[in-house]
Amino acid sequence: MLNRYRWAVEALLDRIVGPRVPLGPNSLTAIALLTSLLAPLVAWLGAGPLLVALVLLSSAALDVLDGYVARRKGSATRFGAFLDSTSDRVADAAYTAAMMLCGVLEPAAALLLLAAEYLVSYARARAEGLGLQLKGVGLMERGERVLLKALALAAYAFSEVAGRVIAWVLIALTIFTVLQRVCAVNRGLAEQ
């Protein structure tokens, strides 16, 4: 869903950053990955959920920047796409672990969320292997999930109930997205 607004984000980045980023996209991916690993670390060290949410959002911003730089510099590669996607899966696990360490998710709920979000990503990858495109299919793509994770953490800082409700909404919508993608693949293959 948020992918529909990529043009607006890139227009904003053109104004703020433009061609001035001295690093290549793979370097930015590595920095985003390392930053994502800080989220569970600071949670484990006892930081509050607001700080953890800020670390999560910082990592997510860097993740947006790597793709932007690759497109603007014309340096997008197949390996870069693979590295970015793989790093995203590690970041997904790190963010979910941070939510668990902050108390927003119980371990079983964290496992359920992680399994569901991995299925969302796997469904897209497998569909692409079958010649179908699933980009933009489903309610909870990665950007939406990351924002809801940050929102759940921030809400938890003020109300444990609110944070947990948002987390369970995230889980339910992520499972729904898996079903949306399964249905889309079924339709797409039937039309071939």
**Residue positions annotated with a catalytic role:** 88
Write the CB contacts of 89 (distance below 8 Å, at least 6 apart in sequence). Answer: 118, 121
How many Cα atoms occupy the beta-carbon half-sphere of 66 within 13 Å?
23
Q: Maximum Cα–Cα distance for the chain, whole Å?
A: 53
Encoded amino acid at 87, one letter: S
Structure tokens at 126: 């497998």
DSSP character at residue 137: -
Structure tokens at 190: 């039937």
Q: What are the DSSP calls for 97-128, one per residue? A: HHHHHHTSS-HHHHHHHHHHHHHHHHHHHHHH
Is the separation of the CB atoms in 180 and 139 below 8 Å? yes
Is the separation of the CB atoms in 63 and 32 below 8 Å? yes
